Structure 1
């Protein structure tokens, strides 16, 4: 009889014996002018430490937007080639804007897993088509369907840091604690990643791991506990213009930018700090203090993750990429806001309205708390992208696309404080993994022929700071803003919209990319795109524009500005459920708003078959969150309704008498008073056919209330929509709901 002999699985032998663990940390909506590591005034002790222990790249680039950067980074392809020309929620029928990463562009995680890596992702995902994010799936475009063995985080573009809608693998889960018990999402993501590392060490230590830890910070809403924000009290009192000047000089002193770099001027349509009325400045200062505390807190959580690598003995052979921002700082807070989805809904407001609503909640100290969805003024975003002109959503200028990256790999990389200056792109990471591991990009994955890799490996620069890397040509395009880099030159077209201006441009329907003015820069001599050479070198500009046209066609980026189709031209075509009627049992919860009935902006009828106890309490249904939503609930037997328009306007209704105990049919009918998006709504509530209240919602949300919250029946498991039950959340209904039907009318 032959003895059994243990041998490692065949797939393990496909990797070098010293194959490193790989950890990619991706921060969100953060520009290079924020962290102390590069001259900013936001304390980033972990990034500072990593800078001392590794090497850095000051010409690393992203796409200027969330989903596009992530799709590109994870696949090694250009973002339009993998269907992510804009965020997943604004997908349309053009190939480059479909919102679907094709199976012909397998993620690096999928390939590494085939070679023997175990893989895990944590935090913000934002690459699953919005219509596929319910608990029913399908799951092939969730993280576990595209290469990750384990996932814990959220599928949408943003989340409340206190009451997020979370997923573990393919199961919707609730946060492990409440805000009152000290819950914060950044801490939870670090805790879960640490737990995963410990399980890996105990259960499967022979396999290398690939971990993708992508925090939702510094994306809005800016949520952080008051003591963290208070660390920055008074530090930003002189405003964003002065901040930029200080950070610019400090970045030069640190050697992060070259001595010949020039500080760019503020765009003429952007507000100067001196233009802010004195009575509004405390509000604007506090918004930045909260953002700074939020960013520091996240960096500290990354530090906890790194400390665990050390404790488990993984430090020396773990290759860490710490990328500060999936795009530049975000100006979507525009003039400063206590509910940041106002910008996406295009609802005009004044700063005075925000301050007045904030005063009713308790004043400036409430900013950053579960009662607000605040986000800073676009002036702070511009300051956060120092020394560049742009910010998030501007693919034309480096403030939207240039993000710092620090790399540490103690066993192979000698620390060097002088930044490397190779022109790199986020699509270069995956081919770098392959280069290090001796993997030839596969021709097929799971039987599916693969598209070419667009990125270029830069592993040689780890040991030779002057080694050539990356590629000669890289295009950029988001929402019509675009640029082309080629061999030291960049040509740029600003596009149809400035992210810091409220609303959408009135003339965007008539915009044509053919009418845009192009700028030309020699980046080898002009670090910050400060000197436009278009008139001086028209032939060079023509050559660059031709290169852009070729790259755009080759990568499915046509039509230029295709990402604007849903957002600005046809909002009625946004991703939404295909159904027009629903039949729910009374225990359906956590149905993402993108897939739920649009109770706040479509004519609809809700009928609830319900049994009331004596003096009933609790939520019958809630859609959205404290930052914006609507809800119907019972309070001491009275039937109540609230339409919360982004905290600034709350339309409430309460029945004159209590609903008698027993079985009833509650009906809520919503109908536009004027047939236009955002127009007033008539809302009527009846019990057993008898009207108990009517009201008019003066302004409605034309797009949606939230990016990540849900419809709940019989409770409010997310952020409480109404302050009337904020302290009683989740405020479950103490009767019974047999059935709830919804139909569009």
Structure 2
């Protein structure tokens, strides 16, 4: 009997045989005036190499803010349409600001995966609702729930580069080594991505991949090893005004901006370098040196990724998209800071306070280390957005929204030193990817009817510098700052606040967007928004304002300025846990602050049942990190408490007598001495019902301590809150914690 021969049914192919691998690199909070590639003075050899092997786009645009840009980039829709008119942590109930990407707007990676791509994301995510970021999930809005087969990075908007709160897929993980052992987050993200590429090559090489590598650099805190910062020693001694002049001339000489582009003026509310007192200038210079080293180090890690692509044979058919900034450079450091969450909490300080605190830590060389959460003066952010007048958080002016994009694809794209000048937006990426691999945007995904894409493909420009691309109209809006682009013209309204000015502007609670002054620019003839034509062309301005109103209504932007609701109007309504009491066992760790008890700004009682060994030591609980937080711990038997107000002010309590060995009940009661945001707190420590210490915290943190650190019980796994145990971190308690009960009072 003749034996039958069967062959397996071939896999159904839904992609062309030459479908490219895709790598999207997104740098954070970085403006066009920083990279040496475009005339800046921060060395970016990988960006320069990628441009030299490919093409550049000098009119590519983002949204002026982190979560909004990422949501728009990944979905191909406008940021309000996908619920990201504000960062995820400051979401509210209006549809355009909900912090939830709707299932009717599936991400590009989700669609590519359904067509046969394998997908991976690394680094900063910032698109999961803050209330869903604990280890309990739900996970459908984590990266692996919205299109990625693999994720390694952090869910929040920023992280310590030395002690980040990390997630692999849906599991909380610790960094693979300590800062003392040489850990840095940018290097770790590159290591993990390289490992993933190698596994793909060994196990899944017949499928194209989509990789999204989103660094936490150059977002605050600016953390980098001293040797990288030292590369820039003395480079910025003459300040930000002189820096802008040099970068502007080089950007023209290198052909990145037109010869007739004007250098915009400094806003009168921003200090000139000459306004900085001489005794403060070394501090301001070193902050910029640290930032520059941080940025160069990140670019080098991107270079390691590209080298790995080459070594694995993926070079020719990998489309590399390298975007320098999800918005312009950030002025959230305001007057220069050693703890950048001070600005978000609206706590006024002086530069002298920062310098004095820094001297206690060891001086200027401590900047960039695990002992600070430093960020540069807003003047450097303005310089980093040369030649434009805006920066991060300003959707009205191009310094907040215009970011360089470089593309390399050796198999299909010939290198061209002349930049493409089509007006593009981050929502154009997904339609471009679909176009390149022949995907028609699906009408349904997972059974959910899909919203139309707002972006437009620029695929034709990859091979034809003069091809038409993008769209005629694009709106911008972040926290009331807004603009509308249409066919070469842009109308802009600055909005109610200047990002570089500390505190909230007077009268913001009475701000009415209808009263804002609008400016008008003919961008085709005025590259940098240097000539306001509103008075000369009132009809054109009126047309564009009406067009903005139409786009705002279509895209869920209304109410204009809705992103200010929590950030400025009602900080008490920030995302937080719905619970008022908790019962923890002694092994609960890594509970993100947004979901943890608000021990630093609500009346509360913490009751700990524990067994103390002889001369017991270790952390009982810690919330936050070195940049700001609170902690209760035993030190050689003494019960200690510290409220670390962003490094500048530390309130400490220490019991006079050690706690005896054996079973005890420790109680920490915190109550407002004056009930107001940022008001003083009375803290009382008790052991077995007897008071052992008390003090008053003169100023409290009204919003939160950190963006990414956590509550830990029995240890301090993140950045150490107290310098008293900095060298012993994570300083686990060497006794037994049975329960920790937290109650709001």
TM range (shorter): over 0.9
- Identify the residue that residue 15 of structure 2 maps to in structure 1: 15
Deviation at 1:3, TM superposition (A): 3.4
Partner of 2:605: 605
Asked if 1:3 corresponds to 2:2, the answer is no
Distance between the aligned counterparts of 1:90 and 1:293, measured in 2?
30
**Offset, 1:136:** 0.1
| 1:537-556 equivalences in 2 (<5 Å) | 537-556=537-556
Aligned counterparts of 1:732 and 1:386: Cα–Cα separation in 2: 48
2:680 counterpart of 1:680: yes
Pair 1:56-2:56 in alignment: yes
1:129 maps onto 2:129 in alignment? yes
Question: What pairs with 1:60-71 in structure 2 (closer than 5 Å)?
Answer: 60-71=60-71
User: 2:321 aligns to what SS in structure 1?
Assistant: strand
Rounded to whole Å, the distance in 2 between the matches of 1:311 and 1:698 is 58
RMSD: 0.5
Asked if residue 630 in structure 1 is aligned to residue 627 in structure 2, the reply is no
Q: Distance in 1 between matches of 2:594 and 2:73?
A: 25
1:118 and 2:130 are equivalent in the alignment:
no
Alignment partner of 1:740: what SS?
strand
Deviation at 1:506, TM superposition (A): 2.5
The residue that corresponds to 1:515 in the other structure is 515
**617-626 or 502-511, larger mean C-alpha shift:** 502-511
**Counterpart residue number, 1:662:** 662
Which residue does the alignment assign to 2:230?
A: 230
Whole-angstrom distance in 1 between the partners of 2:36 and 2:5? 61
- What residue in structure 2 maps to residue 422 of structure 1? 422
**Deviation for aligned residue 1:7:** 4.2
Per-residue deviation, residues 200-250 of structure 1 (Å, max 9, x unmatched): 000010000000000010000000000000000000000000000000000
Q: 3-state SS of the aligned residue for 2:162?
A: coil
Give the Cα separation in 2 of the matches to 1:2 and 1:517.
Answer: 81
Secondary structure of the residue that 2:667 maps to in structure 1?
A: strand
Residue of structure 2 in register with 1:722 after alignment: 722
What residue number does 1:349 align with? 349
CA distance in 1, matches of 2:506, 2:4: 80
Cα distance in 2 for partners of 1:4, 1:607 equals 70
Give 1:596's aligned residue.
Answer: 596
Q: How does 1:22-37 map to 2 (within 5 A)?
A: 22-37=22-37
Q: Which residue of 1 aligns with 2:700?
A: 700
Whole-Å separation in 1 of the counterparts to 2:117 and 2:438 = 14
- Cα distance in 1, alignment partners of residues 418 and 644 from structure 2: 51
How far is 1:5 from its partner? 1.5
2:583 maps to what in 1? 583
Q: Does 1:298 align with 2:312?
A: no
Residue of structure 1 in register with 2:434 after alignment: 434
Map 1:563-578 onto structure 2 (within 5 A).
563-578=563-578
Distance in 1 separating the partners of 2:733 and 2:507: 48
What is aligned with 1:203? 203
Q: Which residue of structure 2 lines up, in the alignment, with residue 241 of structure 1?
A: 241
Deviation at 1:503, TM superposition (A): 1.0
Q: Match of 2:274, SS?
A: helix
SS in 1 for 2:73: helix
Secondary structure of the structure 2 residue equivalent to 1:79 = coil
Distance 1:347 1:718 in 2: 24
Task: Give the Cα separation in 2 of the matches to 1:628 and 1:171.
Answer: 25
- What SS class does the counterpart of residue 200 from structure 1 fall into? helix
SS in structure 2 opposite 1:56? strand
Q: In the TM superposition, what are the counterparts of 1:486-497 in structure 2 within 5 Å?
A: 486-497=486-497
Find the aligned partners of 2:436 and 2:703 in 1 and give their Cα distance.
45
Q: How far apart, in 2, do the equivalents of 1:69 and 1:136 lie? A: 27
Moved more, 575-584 or 503-512: 503-512
Determine the structure 1 residue equivalent to 2:617. Answer: 617
- Please state whether the residue corresponding to 2:457 is helix, strand or coil: coil
1:465-484 equivalences in 2 (<5 Å):
465-484=465-484
Secondary structure of the equivalent of 1:684? strand
Counterpart CA distance in 1 for 2:187 and 2:484 is: 39
Unpaired runs of 5+ residues, structure 2, are none
Alignment of 1:242-321 (within 5 A): 242-321=242-321
CA distance in 2, matches of 1:90, 1:2: 66
**Who is 1:365 aligned against?**
365
Deviations 1:391-414 (A, max 9, x none): 000000000000000000000000
Quote the offset at 1:2 in angstroms: 4.6
1:592 & 1:192 partners in 2: Cα distance? Answer: 23
The residue number in structure 2 matching 1:536 is 536
Q: 1:376-455 alignment to 2 at 5 Å?
A: 376-455=376-455
How many pairs does the alignment contain?
743
Structure 2 residue aligned with 1:78? 78
Query: Would you say 1:145 and 2:145 are equivalent positions?
Result: yes
- The runs of 5 or more residues in structure 1 that have no matched partner are none
**Could you list the per-position Cα deviations for residues 148-187 of structure 1 after superposition, in whole angstroms to 9, with x for gaps in the alignment?**
0000000000000000000000000000000000000000
Give the whole-Å Cα distance in 2 for the aligned partners of 1:669 and 1:319. 57
SS in 2 for 1:30: coil
What are the Cα deviations for residues 342-361 of structure 1, in whole angstroms up to 9, with x where unaligned?
00000000000000000000
Residue 190 of structure 2: aligned partner? 190
Aligned-pair CA distance for 1:504: 1.4
TM-score by length of 1: 0.99
Return the alpha-carbon distance in structure 1 between the equivalents of residues 525 and 42 of structure 2: 29
Instruction: Give SS of 1:14's match.
Output: coil
- 1:303 match: secondary structure: helix
Distance 2:360 2:457 in 1: 54
Equivalent residue, structure 2, for 1:106: 106
2:164 counterpart residue number:
164
Per the normalisation by structure 2, the TM-score is 0.99
- Indicate the SS of the match to 2:550: helix
* Inter-partner Cα distance in structure 2 for 1:6 and 1:83: 45
Deviation by residue 1:274-326 (Cα, 9 ceiling, x = unmatched): 00000000000000000000000000000000000000000000000000000
Give the 5 Å matches for 1:457-468.
457-468=457-468
The alpha carbon displacement at 1:6 in A equals 3.1
